[in-house]
Amino acid sequence: MSRAHARPERGKLVLVAGIAVAATLTAVTAVAAFAGGEGSGQSIACPQPVVPAVPAQAQAEVQRELANLDKQIAEANNRLRTSAGEGGPNFVQNAILGPLASKRVAALNRIETAIGRVAAKPEGLERFATCGLGQAPAVAAPPATAKPSSSGAAASGKTIECPLPVLQDVPAKAQAEVDRELANLGKQQAEANERLRTSAGQGGPNFVQNAILGPLASKRTAALDRIAIAIGRVGARPQGLERFATCTLR
């Protein structure tokens, strides 16, 4: 009789122990999820600065600052990874995104200054400073500049802006050819803007895209390929430079 009563008791103990283990696992899971904190599983994304045509004399300094921007993003993402679970709900904004924006403003201002020493200083690059968690925030339009209006022009008062390719550790043996192609990219952009100015009012609604931006992207892709090949002859060939081929009308 006592043995018969003992079996249900052991079964009850096993069941209770199972519930306790499940509860413990649930608690651990909850703590782990909370430890992930804000930004868990996400990365910091920043807008790619659109830099106007860069004079040859400023190319090296501008490239150095663009590489510096990439380095800042990498450091911020490492900080995001290693600080998971720290601080309150605004930790990522206050401790990572805010300081990153300040560093980017400084680097972008140095780009403006470098160009301004030898040509017209670009304005408003700081609009590319703010980064976001998961995706880059929208970038404001560039500062308005006074330009003569062209009646009926599809692209009146606008210019073509192209991203400057980010190149890191260009071997000395490839530097001359890379500089030549970077200057070629600037020349292509200048020619496209001249085409835009002289063709104001021509064609239909897709004229600029089909007649100017499309061909410009093809020319830039070819120049960027030549840069990759030049570097690849004497070092590790960079990948993905074609992402800098597409220009926009602003």
Q: Which range, of 58-72, 132-146, 182-196, 208-222, averages the lowest pLDDT?
A: 132-146
Nearest to 49 by CA among 109, 129, 138: 129
The residue extents of the domains of the chain are 39-139, 155-250
Nearest to 116 by CA among 43, 50, 58, 165: 58
Reduced to 3 DSSP states, what percent helix, strand and coil does the chain have, rounded to the nearest 5?
A: 60, 5, 35
Q: What ranges make up the beta strands (E) of the chain?
A: 44-45, 132-133, 160-161, 248-249
Task: Output the CA–CA distances (angstroms, integers) from residue 87 to 30, 112, 208, in the order listed.
Answer: 17, 36, 50
Q: What is the pLDDT of residue 183?
A: 85
Mean pLDDT on 48-59: 84
Q: Which residues pair with 45 in a beta bridge?
A: 132
Q: What is the dihedral of CA 85, 73, 246, 62, to 10 degrees?
A: 170
Nearest to 165 by CA among 78, 113, 77, 241: 241
* 43 vs 32: CA distance, rounded Å: 19
* 20 vs 28: CA distance, rounded Å: 12
The predicted-structure confidence for 143-192, as pLDDT tens digits, reads as follows: 655 443 333 334 457 888 888 888 878 898 998 898 888 888 888 888 88
Q: What is the pLDDT of residue 207?
A: 87
* 181 vs 134: CA distance, rounded Å: 34
* 134 vs 117: CA distance, rounded Å: 36
* 220 vs 99: CA distance, rounded Å: 34
* 160 vs 208: CA distance, rounded Å: 10
pTM above 0.85, yes or no: no
The predicted-structure confidence for 85-132, as pLDDT tens digits, reads as follows: 787 878 999 999 999 999 999 999 999 999 989 888 888 888 899 999
Tokens 């679970």 sit on residue = 85
The length of the chain in residues reads 250
